[in-house]
Structure 1
């Protein structure tokens, strides 16, 4: 249960940012960096204990929210208050690495529901508050998978391509209104959960993704880009930032140091 809202907080003079998927990884790192940049951050995710600890740490607000649940999304919009300056649509994730011919349709549905429908629902719910702020920003966390296909990634690439096209469409539709629309598309990022979730907790398969890679991106690296995009003067719309580690030239070309 949400015990307070931005409206009720004495810190509500700060610009308000809403970050979904804030319980770990890029979402949690973005919440911390945005708080450091002066935002009052509404931390949204399914795991209440994690976002409550994060909100306490950064003087933010925790709102338990499954972005695929319309009622919970409406509650998130109510808790965020009448004016929101920044929405970071970060909730997402990948499931499995099966080729299309052996794909699990339920995994594909789940990825589409979280990455695409979840982003749609949160954006739609918060758009009035973003516009009411007079200087709103929607920042969608995409992926290089939303630009380039790769074997075994059919369901995830389809979902992230959906996020990319939705972002581009929204920018066209909101032209002339005080809301800019941006995308940050990371490549290989090593977080504590992304690969584990993809491989259903298989630690060996998760570790193999990064084996031999010298310094994949971290959540803080991506959050630094998020904060930079969000804090540009409002007349500057950074349409798309693609960010990859030095060791990654493309989805298919990653430099790996052989193990000794």
Structure 2
């Protein structure tokens, strides 16, 4: 007696093309969950902070409750004070980033692409990066005074070095065989820069930009505490004179939110620009 022939496995027809695989369905459903879980630890920290202030573990004059800080922020936002200082801080940060970032991109590209540029530009920049730029405040005061130029110069210095070194490293890390292959295919200098050098250096450029923005905000905190009349840093210094801890904490939170929003914006732009690049994902 012979066994019945085994049935052939069912083949997926055209109707199966739109059905997601189990792994794909699981990945689609877990991505929003993971995003929500990233908010869990900040929410818990704020809740613990509020609880500690409510039960008296934290003195109000040392660290007020988050609800008190939010009420102060609402009051300053309602009368326009917070917006005025915020716009001045944003204008200083934007000007410093434009100057320092633009100079870093130009010098980093010249040093990374040209041997002469590497010999002339990189050694002095390597020497200058060993100096803490915030320690140059006394010298900058002598050079540019204590006005707006000082604050913009500090932001520009803070943004310059991270972006320069990542631009330089991003260009130098490009596989030379790709450049030779492009040259063999008949691509000119401009075409090689556009189709090989720029895509290869973009990941490092975005990393440098994120670091530069973070350094720019840190530099602005210091700059706005030197003879400023407006800005979030000035608001904090003025509050310190009157022991308004809630305003000081509010200023710190504003700086933190500005840095976070800047980083999120750069990450979003990076994902869209480098959609072709697949990196390691956390599991």
Fold match (TM-score > 0.5): no
Shorter-chain TM band: under 0.3
Q: Which of the pair has more CA radius of gyration? A: 2
**Which structure ranks higher in relative contact order (CA pairs < 8 Å, sequence separation ≥ 6)?**
2
Q: What TM-score do you get using the length of structure 2 for normalisation?
A: 0.24
More helix by share: 2
The normalised TM-score by structure 1 is: 0.26
Structure with the higher fraction of residues in strand conformation: 1
